[in-house]
Amino acid sequence: MLLFQLFERAPGLIIPWLTALVAALTIHEFAHALAAYRLGDSTAERAGRLSLNPLVHLDPMGSLMLLLVGFGWARPVPVNPSLIGKGRFGQFMVSFAGIFANISFALFCLAWLTLIFNFESFSADNYLIKFLAFLVYINISLFIFNLIPLAPLDGFGILKSFAPELFFRVAPFLERWGFFILLGLVFFTNAIGFLIVVAVQVISGPFGLNIFNLAFGGL
């Protein structure tokens, strides 16, 4: 759901949508900073990124893109791989921390939605329900999106953590052109959108919830 569509069809939902976006991006970047700090790298902490203050994580251009087209990014957390303990496994944990935080946050919100519908008679149009459904959708989207093994996404860092030496022959190419390949996937194919739809359905299915209906029903 692009931002201008929310403005056009349900202007009142723009606040919960933006709040959910900022919360998901903030917890993602904070998790990277916390993992690095716990593993001995204080680079992010010294840069003021070990914080849940969204202002220290939002990227001006990435935020503008989110507002205009619904696709954007936060500021990458600075890390120093030479300071991270536990070798490649430590680097994996730092790369994985962000997407782990997103999927954990999504599951937490799914649990809350289940409890609400079991004990309270809220309608799907309730703003609390919409907000929680937005959180589930956005966090699962970030989880799937960041698993893609292209720089500068977390999936690339995860791949580098365990890839054989042969991989590092093509790594410079992926680091140089990964962002442009990613833009092509986002704007010229539906591959990522398809993966997100499937993931949302699979992850929310066991909770008996239709997240797409709860988040976007009536829009």
Dump pLDDT digits (tens) for 206-219.
999 999 999 988 77
Count CB-CB contacts under 10 A for residue 70.
16
Question: Six-digit token pair at 44?
Answer: 């992010």
Give 45's pLDDT tier (boundaries 50, 70, 90).
very high
Distance, in Å, from the CA atom of 14 to the CA atom of 70, rounded to the nearest integer, reads 12
What are the start-end ranges of the H helices in the chain?
3-9, 14-38, 43-46, 60-69, 87-119, 127-147, 154-162, 171-188, 191-204, 211-216
Residue positions annotated with a catalytic role: 29
Beta bridge partners, 74, equal 58
Which residues, at least 6 apart from 152, have a Cβ–Cβ distance to it below 8 Å?
Answer: 76, 175, 178, 179
Which residues, at least 6 apart from 33, have a Cβ–Cβ distance to it below 8 Å?
Answer: 44, 45, 49, 50, 51, 77
Distance, in Å, from the CA atom of 176 to the CA atom of 165, rounded to the nearest integer, reads 18
Greater pLDDT, 147 or 11: 147
Mean pLDDT of 96-122: 93
pLDDT of residue 80: 95
pLDDT of residue 146: 92
- Torsion sign, CA atoms 50, 51, 56, 57: positive
Report whether pLDDT(91) > 70: yes
Give 71's pLDDT tier (boundaries 50, 70, 90).
low
pLDDT of residue 122: 79
Task: Report pTM.
Answer: 0.93
Among residues 144, 139, 136, the alpha carbon closest in space to that of 114 is found at: 136
Dump pLDDT digits (tens) for 148-190.
999 889 999 999 898 887 788 888 888 899 889 988 988 899 8
Q: Is 70 left (phi over 0), alpha (psi -120 to 50) or beta?
A: left
pLDDT of residue 2: 57
pLDDT of residue 118: 85
Cα 195 to Cα 59, 82, 135, 148, 204: the distances in Å are 26, 34, 18, 11, 14
Dump pLDDT digits (tens) for 4-24.
666 677 888 888 988 999 999
Mean pLDDT of 63-79: 76
